[in-house]
């Protein structure tokens, strides 16, 4: 059975609310950038790096939005009472 046929069969079994969630998830997937080749080729070498990489991959799979450098700086400043170095 093709993926499209299987997907359609599952789709028909969902409630309208769950169908809406599927549509929202598909839109999210479409908006995410494709994985860069360097990220695909990354192989953590140390036990700590392997653990951190695993956590990162689970976070991405769960739909968490990763922060960029500026967003991390803002979050740290907020956690530290609002002080922010320029």
pLDDT digits (tens, 9 = 90+) for 60-84: 888 888 888 989 888 888 888 876 5
Write the DSSP assignment of 41-82 as a string of letters: H----SHHHHHHHHHHHHHHHTTPPPP-HHHHHHHHHHHTTS
Look up residue 33 and give its two tokens: 């950038």
pTM: 0.42
For residue range 7-62, what is the model confidence (pLDDT) as tens digits? 899 989 999 999 898 888 888 887 777 665 555 678 889 999 999 999 988 988 88
Residues 6+ apart with CB under 8 A from 83: 77
Place of tokens 């499209």: 4
Buried b or exposed e, range 53-65, using 16+ CB within 10 angstroms? eeeeeeeeeeeee
DSSP letter at 34 equals P
């Amino acid at each position: 059975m093709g993926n499209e046929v299987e997907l359609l069969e599952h789709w028909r079994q969902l409630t309208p609310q769950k169908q809406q969630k599927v549509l929202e998830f598909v839109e999210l997937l479409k908006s995410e950038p494709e994985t860069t080749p360097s990220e695909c080729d990354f192989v953590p070498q140390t036990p700590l790096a392997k653990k951190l990489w695993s956590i990162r991959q689970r976070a991405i799979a769960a739909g968490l939005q990763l922060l960029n450098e500026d967003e991390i700086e803002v979050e740290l400043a907020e956690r530290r009472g609002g002080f922010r170095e320029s």
